[in-house]
Copies of this chain bind each other. A is one copy, B any other.
Amino acid sequence: MNGAQGVVSTLLEAGVDTCFMNPGTSEMHLVAALDTAPKLRGVLALFEGVATGAADGYARITGKPAATLLHLGPGLGNGLANLHNARRARSPIVNLVGDHAIAHQPLDAPLQSDIETLARNVSTFVRSAATTEGLSGDVLDAVDAAYGPPGSVATLIIPADVSWNEGGVVAQPLVGTTQRGSGNRPDEAPIEAAGAALRGRGRTAFLIGGRACHGKAFQLVAALAARSGARLLCETFPARLERGAGQPTVEQISYLGDFAVAQLSGLQHLVLVDASSPVSFFAYPNKMSELIPTDCVVHQVSKQGDDLLAALEALSSLIDSGEDTSSRAETGRPDLPTGALNASGVAQAIGHLLPEGAIVSDEGNTGGIFVKGSTAGAPQHDWLSLTGGAIGQGLPVALGAAIAAPDRPVIALQADGSALYTAQALWTMAREGLNVTTIILANRSYAVLNMELDQVGAGVPGPRARAMLDLTDPTMDFVSLAKGFGVGASRAETAEAFSEQLRRALAEPGPSLIEAVIPSLL
């Protein structure tokens, strides 16, 4: 058994059974080893940013890591933006990066670069495997580091000779995949202070993020908020938020700093649950970056690496018991839109048609601003946000989510400008026959930047500045682009056409794309 064969078998032993890859020569033994480990699913991407984003989407849905396989420093470089987003999402990922054989590294061959330094930017664990005998142990360490909590990117660099030499082993994990630790014991002091504040019934809010936006923790914290009369706020871009009729209603903190300050004004206590105290996404001249009132007291009851459920139970024991009267979203869908298509019409149609159990990968940006509202009363679904602000996440995350949950419909709500960073994801959707409906919100500009130009006080932009934010010269043709990647596509310029195309796309298996032409918001 060579090192590479040990790696793939060890991944399976540790419960990692999916690898998103864009390999090169230095990873060929790992590719060849796929035939010795038939349960490890290799998913080919045409670009590394697709592979890393897909691993993020996969982790958000399954809660467990996929592996990636990338080609040396440049391959890792291409994957960094979506690893940045994954880092912000606290997604566990086992990031495998091939390297030159150890003796080859000092020779400064063309592809030589400093992989470890690149990896540190996005990883909590970075190791370069030194021996074939130790390689599978390194894999287990990477898997453990990725799981956390908090979940994180663990990067294992594998020199080619460490893969190809004989002496590989199948390492057995000490911890079963279902017995992983639930995190550090939470600090008592902030929990007690938060309990006192909540009992005091001042103007108090919970701010949830990370693991607190779905599953048992989400229900617990919603009940706590109701019992204590506190507001339930959610970070602006949660990694995975459970929504829809019957789910707790949460107020998301606005992306726009001025709106967020208004939302938070008057707050006396903010109880952070897997979230950080809110700051504006960007800084703006003469505006504060910190968004809470200066006299608001912050209580961090669960940090990202803490045992979240233990923290919530401890807090629960400190506040008055009582009924869970938490506000729940009521069932309700908007009517289908009519007439010329715009961002509002797209939102209405999605709200009318969103299937039960859908997963929405939201990189809709400006053109997607109404969709949250229009789907609030739709059947229950998961919402995956752009966590780290590095655009080009939406399509890969949708791809990874669809691999993770083959029986659930996935909708990629995708701004046109952002789609073009990682549009290669469409090809893998076609290759794997994934049930992803991509909706391109074609406003044909970097619309958010037109707004930001004004926000940052850059004055009235001249024609040369405006040209740098404009995508009409030439206008992208997403129907042709999708066809190029093997995905069937259509264009909608009226609300009726969009609704009909969306209905058809959701009904048919496999991927499809709709270019929704939206010259205006309303």
Contacts and interface: CB of A to CB of B under 8 A. Distances in A.
A240 interface: no
B281 A109 contact: yes
Nearest to A422: B47
A475 interface: yes
Given A107-B279, A388-B111, A389-B111, A477 B484 contact: yes
Contacts of A483: 477, 480, 484
A110 interface: yes
B486 A104 contact: no
Interface string A107-144: 11111011001101110000000000000000000000
Contacts of A73: 80, 84, 121
Interface in A69-111: 73-75, 77-78, 80-81, 84-85, 88, 100-101, 103-104, 107-111
The range of chain A's interface size is 35 or more
A226 to B, nearest CB: 29
B42 A467 contact: yes
25 contacts: A21-B468, A25-B455, A31-B453, A34-B465, A47-B421, A73-B80, A74-B388, A74-B389, A74-B390, A77-B80, A100-B282, A109-B281, A109-B282, A111-B282, A114-B120, A117-B117, A117-B120, A164-B285, A164-B457, A420-B427, A476-B486, A477-B486, A480-B480, A481-B481, A484-B484
A452 interface: yes
Contact of A290 (B107, B452, B458): B107
A104 B291 CA distance: 12
Enumerate the 8 nearest inter-chain pairs by beta-carbon distance, A residue then B residue, closest first. A35-B462, A474-B486, A481-B484, A77-B80, A74-B390, A101-B283, A104-B283, A32-B458
Instruction: Determine how many copies of this chain the complex contains.
Output: 2
A472 to B, nearest CB: 10
Given A35-B465, A110-B237, A84 B88 contact: no
A424 interface: yes
Given A111-B282, A479-B484, 11 more contacts: A26-B282, A32-B462, A47-B392, A73-B84, A75-B390, A78-B392, A80-B118, A100-B283, A101-B289, A103-B283, A107-B290
A182 to B, nearest CB: 25
A84 B80 contact: no
B279 A109 contact: yes
Contacts of A110: 88, 237, 281, 387-389
A465 B28 CA distance: 9
Nearest to A452: B25
Contact of A77 (B77, B280, B453, B464): B77
Contacts of A388: 74, 110-111
Given A34-B465, A283-B161, A486-B477, A78 B107 contact: no
Contacts of A38: 464
A509 interface: no
A255 B31 CA distance: 22
B78 A84 contact: no
A503 interface: no
Interface in A383-429: 387-390, 392, 417, 420-421, 424, 427
Nearest to A80: B77
A160 B286 CA distance: 13
Interface in A262-281: 276, 279-281
Contacts of A47: 392, 420-421
A44 interface: yes
A339 interface: no
A81 B75 CA distance: 7
A507 interface: no
B78 A81 contact: yes
B420 A424 contact: yes
A377 interface: no
A109 to B, nearest CB: 5
Nearest to A111: B389
Interface string A19-35: 00101111011011111
Contacts of A245: none
A459 interface: yes
A389 to B, nearest CB: 4
Contacts of A85: 74
A103 B289 CA distance: 8
Contacts of A480: 480-481, 483-484
Contacts of A447: none
A431 interface: yes
A461 interface: yes
A424 B479 CA distance: 15
Given A35-B464, A46-B417, A475 B481 contact: no
A319 interface: no
